Amino acid sequence: MTTRVAVVGGGIIGLAVAWRCVQRGLDVTVFDASDEKATTVAAGMLAPAAEIHAGEEEVQRLLADSAGRWPQFAAELEKATGIEVGYRDEGTLLVALTDDDLREVRRLCGVYERAGQPVHELTARELREREPLLSPRVRGGAYAPQDHQVDPRRVLTALRTALKGRVVTEMVTDLAGVDADVTVVAAGVGTRALTGLPVRPVKGQTVRVTAPQPPLRHIIRGYARNRPVYLVPRRDGELVIGATEEERGFDTSITVGAVLDLLRPAAELLPEVVEYPVSEIAVGLRPGTPDNAPILGALKGDIADSGHGRILVASGHYRNGVLLTPLTADLVAELVTSGVSPQGITPFAPDREALWT
């Protein structure tokens, strides 16, 4: 008999896991009742160099591995659905407005190097040769050729298309009520209420503007008077300006401070941005964890032992949900099928100590 898989959560992680499970011949249903997805707010930067703290080498490995899977994942998804998902590999420019900001960029170059990611310093002139609309006041920066992008909204649309008929609009509030052999919890910030796992919301605000012509080819990861901002250009002229990181519980209001924090440095680095219409201001809640690493693997304990089938978790991806999608989908689909944790997943198990101390 075909294994019946329930995926709780219709964000990019849940849908990608579901798609990989369908490809393996499983009987999959996605339960998706939320219009508020971190995925639809995310800019889709795929930046695999993480700020590594002690003991976080596994996260770095995960990020690099998943980044390497994106080109194939995107191509496969586009082929299956005919929907272009906006994968772009022009790379990212790190851009500094002041001398102070340039010090921050150089520090970040060190992070790239320690992460084994390529990065090349550029002069102000070299930056403006690549991106003529950058402010003449920028002091310098660097080029990170492996920091790519994808359009998360297009990816969601493509995944929904690939899963046609398998996504139901139904809110799951109790895992015991889900009738399946395996349940995958990919509920983002809703994960805590379902599982008790320590996933907390980290609020992020982004502004979308629409330029008449795409003003940039590269992603800009900028610093202007100690304020970080990124500018992610789409081919249709949309420019995503992001993102705040705020610990405000489940509050999803757009605030004056966040709008200023995003638009001010954006206008300093790319002066023409003041002319652009604002098409959207969006707020999302990233699923954060105590050790900033995702939670991947089988749930143990009361809920899992309630006799309603195996329960797996794919959540807590924090700022890296889009980047980690291909790898998460592959690992979790393998775990669903084999029942055995694939190599590399164990450091991210729901019962790891770092989640609970």
**CB 254, min distance to a second copy, A:** 5
**CB 122, min distance to a second copy, A:** 26
Q: Which is nearer to a second copy, 210 or 341 (CB)?
A: 210
Candidate residues 209, 229, 331, 336; the one interacting with a second copy per rule CB under 8 A: 209
Residues 150-169 that bind a second copy (CB under 8 A): none
Q: Which is nearer to a second copy, 24 or 264 (CB)?
A: 264
The reply on whether position 77 binds a second copy by CB under 8 A is no
The reply on whether position 254 binds a second copy by CB under 8 A is yes
Q: Which is nearer to a second copy, 6 or 209 (CB)?
A: 209
Q: Which is nearer to a second copy, 102 or 281 (CB)?
A: 281
Q: Which is nearer to a second copy, 253 or 357 (CB)?
A: 253
155 close to 85: Cβ distance less than 8 angstroms? yes
Give the neighbor-by-neighbor strand order of the sheet with 238-242. Answer: 120-123, 140-144, 92-96, 219-224, 227-233, 238-242, 200-210
Number of residues that bind a second copy (CB under 8 A): 20
| Other Cβ atoms closer than 10 A to 273 | 19
139 close to 101: Cβ distance less than 8 angstroms? yes
Binding piece for a second copy, criterion CB under 8 A, among 27-35, 130-138, 254-262, 339-347: 254-262
DSSP structural state of residue 321: T
- For helices 152-162 and 12-23, angle between their N-to-C axes, nearest 10 degrees: 40
**CB 144, min distance to a second copy, A:** 26
Q: Which long-range contacts (CB under 8 A, 24 or more apart) does 151-154 make?
A: 151/44, 151/85, 151/86, 151/234, 152/12, 152/39, 152/40, 152/42, 152/43, 152/44, 152/322, 153/39, 153/40, 154/83, 154/84, 154/85, 154/86
CA 249 – CA 38 distance, rounded (Å):
14
**CB 334, min distance to a second copy, A:** 43
* Cβ-proximal residues to 96 (8 Å cutoff; 6+ apart), any chain: 102, 103, 104, 105, 138, 139, 140, 141, 222, 223
**CB 256, min distance to a second copy, A:** 5
Residues 255-314 that bind a second copy (CB under 8 A): 255-257, 259-260, 263-264, 266-267, 273-278, 281
**CB 230, min distance to a second copy, A:** 15
DSSP H/E element including 7:
strand 4-8
The reply on whether position 253 binds a second copy by CB under 8 A is yes
Interacting residue ranges for a second copy, rule: CB under 8 A: 207, 209, 253-257, 259-260, 263-264, 266-267, 273-278, 281
